[in-house]
Structures are given as C-alpha cells and as structure tokens.
Amino acid sequence: MPNSPTYGIPYPCEGAAISPADFAAFAAGVEAAIASANAAITAARKGVYAIQMATVNPAVNTPTTFTFTASAENSSSGITVGATSFTAQTAGVYLSSVYFILGQSLTSTTTATYGQIGMRVGAVNQNLDKRRGYSSLVLPRQQATGMLILGVGSVVDYQYLWGGTGALSAPVLAKITLERLTTL
C-alpha cells in the first residue's frame, strides 16, 4: 500500500485486495496523524513561559535578589527555573515582568525615600522602575516590564532596592514572569 505524502498514512489502491489488516493500518495512521497535529497545536498555543511568586526582605540601601517561593504556573520546557533566577534554554526575544502583589507597610520608625525594582541579565540591570518621594506608610506598588534578548544560558534575576531609614517589617511579595515571544 502507498502512504500519504504529508503524514505517511497507508491507504489501499484501486484494484488491490483490501484486508482487515489494511483497514487497521489505515486507522492507526490516521490516529497517529491526529495525535501529531494535536501536539503541534498545543505547543503553539502554550508557548514557553514561567510564572513564579517571590519574596524579598532587603536591608535599606542594599540591592537584594528576589527568592522564588512557589511556582504559579509554568510551561518552562525552554526555561530553567532556579531558586532566584530563570535561565533561557533557547536564544530568543522574551517579555519579562516583576511587580509587587502587595505594598509593604512601614513601621513608625521607618522612612522610605525611594524604591527601585527591576530585572538583571547576567548581573546587568535592565528595565528598572525607580520611584522617589514616598510619602506614605506603605511602599507603593511597583512594576518593571520589558523585552529581553537572551542567548542560550542567559540568566535573568530580579532585585529590589529601597532607600530611607529603618527596616521593613516583613518581606515584599512579588509576581515574576518570563515568556519567550520568538526564537532567534
């Protein structure tokens, strides 16, 4: 029996004697082609991304890297998730973001004059959100989002820095994402 050119599905030809085994081979070929197409559709829809919950409790005037605390949702076959960073397994253009889930309350003996949140690629700052002039008893929510061009093995981590006096009363909670938009 010949096979179809795209999926290699065997099919009987005119004049050939058709047996139950021929129908079984045809059915198996169709099922394999459907499974292959479904897998391709799922992969195209899902993409490569990682979403992590993270905390940081930095001392004043000390840039501190967020620590991942829980995986919110991942399709990270192309991204390795470490304790404090993501590593790209494929060169590409990525979209990343880090943002506070909750602002941090300050104690009566703590003052905050500025805050900076952002991501780093290979220890080099990228896409920072810097704010000055805090005037409340809560660190304001901040978010940094940006495109990153990453090579194979590029490491991305996320930091928070604040200035003022005193200490934070509890860790800052953040949500961090990294999604590959296209390969290079």
Listed by start position, the domains of the chain span: 1-46, 47-183
8 Å CB contact between 75 and 49: yes
8 Å CB contact between 90 and 78: yes
Domain 47-183 architecture: Sandwich (2.60)
pLDDT of residue 121: 96
pLDDT of residue 167: 80
State the Cα–Cα distance between residues 65 and 56, nearest whole angstrom.
Answer: 7
Query: Please, which residues bridge with residue 126 across strands?
Result: 119
Give DSSP secondary structure letters for 44-78: HHH-EEEEEEEEE-PPTT--EE-EEEEEEEEE-TT
Walk along the chain (184 residues) in steps of 10 and give the mean pLDDT of each run: 80 78 84 81 68 87 89 70 91 91 68 87 89 69 90 94 83 88 87
